[in-house]
Amino acid sequence: MKVLITGGAGYIGSHMALALLDKGNDVVILDNLTTGSKQIVPPKANFIEGDISDLNLVQKILNEHNFDAVTHFAGSVKVEESVLNPLKYYENNTMKTLRFLDCLINSNVTKFIFSSTAAIYEEKKNGLISETDSCNPSNPYGQSKLMSENMIKDLSKSTNLKYFILRYFNVAGADPQLRSGQIDELSNHLIKSCIDCVIKKREFIEIYGVDYDTEDGSCVRDFIHVSDLISGHLLAIEHLVNGGDSDICNLGYGKGLSVLEIVERVKLISKINYNTKIVGRRKGDVSRVVANSNKMMSKYKWKPKLDDIDNILSTALNWEKQKLKILYEN
């Protein structure tokens, strides 16, 4: 099987490439390296530097390869940035996806796996979020992804496109073999920020609000290990390639952990204390986001293997330590 991965030099996309290659598949990666890095591109992947909005390049790639499926990770992912610069997100996540889809349809590429987000949902302060719950994003990032979802669904009604939309909750951790992990040094991801404090890359971590309607006042999130997230993608690809119908599924563990709980857990795992600073709420954040992933588990037999916060934190910490070691050696 041959798969095109957009954003394959990024955090999640590189794990997708590793998983496909581990199973003996052919992989072509298209990435503009805005936030990605060649350092985590697997050696066996065919890497092409470029943007999905470069339609001549995209068409050339599609003409040269017979892809069984396309997995689309390329885009912008920071909630607060989307509030401050919404047009960037509508351009990168929605308009570029529109143009890219047009190329796929013109080349008769009909199996499309889309990287979406729990940020499309309306805030639900109690209980788990299911795929049938209301979609009402609280920030432009979520809006840009929801608009893309709607485009994909509409396009599938008028063409032979089959899609599988996967709505991520909070992705974290690193490849257990430490072949890939977080590489964006400007990332504001909670766990990476905590670990940066552990390895002395940050002096403290900012806590964005402790006045939410949660048990300890900080935001609650559902953290899923990146490797388990990718195993869901493998099932989605297999489903479409084998002739399955379009579908939408959540990917999360159904377990909520607060920001303050994560901060303390990282201290415990690392055996290193670090400072925190309470600041005001961050624009675009909601109080609680926890998944109901029963559909993915029951219908597609998805079985998470790293469903434990300590696994997530340990692999993330080991990855950052390895990066630091390589930096010092060079």
User: Which of these, 118, 173, 176, lies nearest to 293 by C-alpha position?
Assistant: 118
Q: Which two tokens stand for residue 98?
A: 């529109």
Active site residue 141: yes
Torsion of CA 286, 305, 321, 265, to 10 degrees: 50
DSSP letters for 76-144 = ---HHHHHH-HHHHIIIIIIHHHHHHHHHHHTT--EEEEEEEGGGBPP-SSS-B-TTS-B--SSHHHHH
d(CA 240, CA 254) in angstroms, rounded, equals 25
- The one catalytic residue in 141, 168, 253, 274 is 141
Give the three-class secondary structure for 52: coil
Alpha-carbon distances of 308 from 15, 179, 196, 225, 304, rounded to whole Å: 19, 20, 21, 8, 10
d(CA 236, CA 300) in angstroms, rounded, equals 8
> Taking the CA of residue 306 as centre, how many other CA atoms within 13 Å lie in the half-sphere pointing to its CB?
24
Other Cβ atoms less than 10 A from the Cβ of 170: the count is 22
Where do the DSSP E strands lie in the chain?
2-6, 26-31, 46-49, 69-72, 111-117, 162-168, 170-172, 204-208, 220-221, 223-225, 247-251, 257-258, 275-279, 288-289
d(CA 205, CA 192) in angstroms, rounded, equals 10
Could you give the angle at which helices 259-270 and 309-329 cross, rounded to 10 degrees?
A: 60
Which are the catalytic amino acids? 141
